[in-house]
């Protein structure tokens, strides 16, 4: 079957960032499908690359997390326009696999369905436009109405829907109860990330010898509210054993780093976004992964990559939001939730893991066990079920 995977943020292990769509394209290709990827890159020209046996068409559209709201909208519209133009030139596909966010990719799916009769699978990783509405990024009532209508049309006209969490599936079902929805979570790459002894080479590189390291890996944006972590670091600065590590990028990265500097914090290290191989090195010297979201209900429905990387690496998981991930952590006893408004409580909850090495190691072991449920080997075959009936 000829499948076009459309994802504006397609990444590879070498480029850094979330690589879910890379895993999906690779899997579909290995299953014998003729796969084409359409994405956007910060290049000056349109390029076609052969990646593991399938074509990746990269449209020259500039996008970074630090862009303003309207600059982002402009980039989204450009991607829709350029992709629609490209699809007219490419041979017809049997199926489009369209990934949101951004929600604007639904316009591509709907256009191709109308023009070429191409059915589409719509993958939903974040609930748009509900997330930007609750974050008060989208305030204009007309813009809200347009976005909500687009969301409904995408759900109802999709051949099938892939949701990245139980909570996302439930939210979609309330809007499109007739739809067939399969949950395919983000992936824990248990072959790439593995529990291992801390290496002196990395401990020396990052200067965290004899430290209990708590790492935040990923986007630092409005939705992540890493001010919560800074508040914890302030409370913890009298504890010389605890060290925090923030690795990533995003619209609020420099703001959060400046905030830490303004408070004179020496127990927190910042590093720009790195590729998957460097993430593995940082996980090696990490004891606990911190996953953070602003205290806004819709954000708790997501499926953040850092959670799954932490599980695969066998790390203690610390979160500051409720929802399906909190339930999983509590069910498997592999970490803890802390009230984001109470940084002192964070340290009280952390203390037993620092004081009792056996308790920490048991939690890490259970995290690794949970990772197997979200492994590529367990999750990717679900896509084969989704594709049934299209051949």
**pLDDT score at 65:** 76
Homologous superfamily assigned to 2-187+375-387: Glycogen Phosphorylase B; (3.40.50.2000)
- The topology (CATH level 3) of 200-373 is Rossmann fold (3.40.50)
* pLDDT (0 to 100) of residue 185: 97
Fold matches, 2-187+375-387 and 200-373: yes
For the chain, what are the domain ranges? Answer: 2-187+375-387, 200-373
Tens digits of pLDDT across the chain (391 residues) = 999 999 999 999 888 788 999 999 999 999 999 999 999 999 999 999 997 899 999 999 999 877 787 888 999 999 999 999 999 999 999 999 999 989 999 999 999 999 999 999 999 999 999 999 999 999 999 999 999 999 999 999 999 999 999 999 999 999 999 999 999 999 999 999 999 999 999 999 999 999 999 999 999 999 999 999 999 999 999 999 999 999 998 899 999 999 999 999 999 999 998 889 999 999 999 999 999 999 999 999 999 999 999 999 999 999 999 999 999 999 999 999 999 999 999 999 999 999 999 999 999 999 999 999 999 999 999 999 999 988 6
pLDDT of residue 391: 66
pLDDT of the residue at 390: 82
pLDDT confidence of residue 69: 79
The pTM (predicted TM-score) of the whole model is 0.95
In Å, what is the CA distance from 201 to each residue of 16, 63, 284, 285? 22, 35, 10, 10
């Amino acid at each position: 079957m000829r499948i076009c995977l459309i994802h504006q943020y397609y990444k590879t292990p070498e480029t850094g960032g979330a690589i879910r769509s890379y895993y999906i394209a690779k899997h579909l290709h290995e299953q014998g499908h003729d796969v084409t990827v359409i994405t956007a890159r910060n290049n000056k020209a349109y390029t076609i690359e052969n990646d593991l046996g399938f074509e990746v068409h990269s449209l020259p559209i500039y996008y970074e997390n630090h862009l303003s709201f309207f600059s982002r909208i402009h980039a989204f519209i450009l991607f829709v326009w350029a992709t629609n133009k490209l699809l007219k030139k490419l041979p017809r596909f049997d199926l489009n696999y369209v990934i949101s966010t951004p929600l604007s990719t639904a316009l591509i799916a709907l256009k191709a369905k109308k023009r070429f009769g191409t059915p589409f699978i719509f993958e939903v990783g974040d609930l748009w436009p509900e997330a930007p509405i609750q974050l008060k990024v989208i305030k204009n009532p007309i813009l809200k109405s347009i976005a909500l209508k687009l969301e409904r049309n995408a759900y109802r006209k999709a051949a099938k829907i892939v949701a990245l969490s139980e909570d996302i599936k439930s939210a979609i079902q309330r809007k499109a109860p007739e739809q067939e929805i399969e949950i395919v979570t983000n992936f824990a790459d248990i072959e790439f990330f593995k529990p291992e002894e801390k290496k002196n080479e990395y401990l020396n590189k990052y200067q965290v010898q004899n430290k209990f390291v708590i790492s935040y890996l990923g986007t630092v944006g409005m939705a992540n509210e890493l001010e919560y972590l800074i508040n914890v670091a302030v409370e913890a600065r009298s504890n010389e054993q605890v060290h925090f590590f923030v690795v990533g990028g995003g619209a609020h990265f420099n703001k959060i780093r400046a905030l830490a500097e303004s408070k004179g914090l020496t127990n927190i290290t910042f590093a720009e976004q790195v590729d998957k191989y460097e993430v593995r090195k940082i996980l090696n010297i990490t004891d606990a992964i911190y996953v953070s979201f602003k205290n806004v209900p819709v954000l708790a429905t997501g499926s953040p990559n850092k959670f799954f990387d932490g599980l695969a690496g066998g790390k203690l998981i610390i979160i500051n939001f409720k929802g399906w991930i909190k339930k999983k952590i509590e069910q498997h006893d592999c970490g803890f939730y802390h009230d984001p408004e109470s940084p002192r409580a964070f340290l009280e909850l952390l203390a037993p893991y620092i004081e009792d090495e056996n308790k920490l190691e048991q939690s890490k072991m259970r995290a690794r066990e949970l990772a197997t449920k979200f492994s590529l080997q367990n999750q990717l075959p679900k896509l084969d079920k989704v594709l049934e009936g299209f051949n």
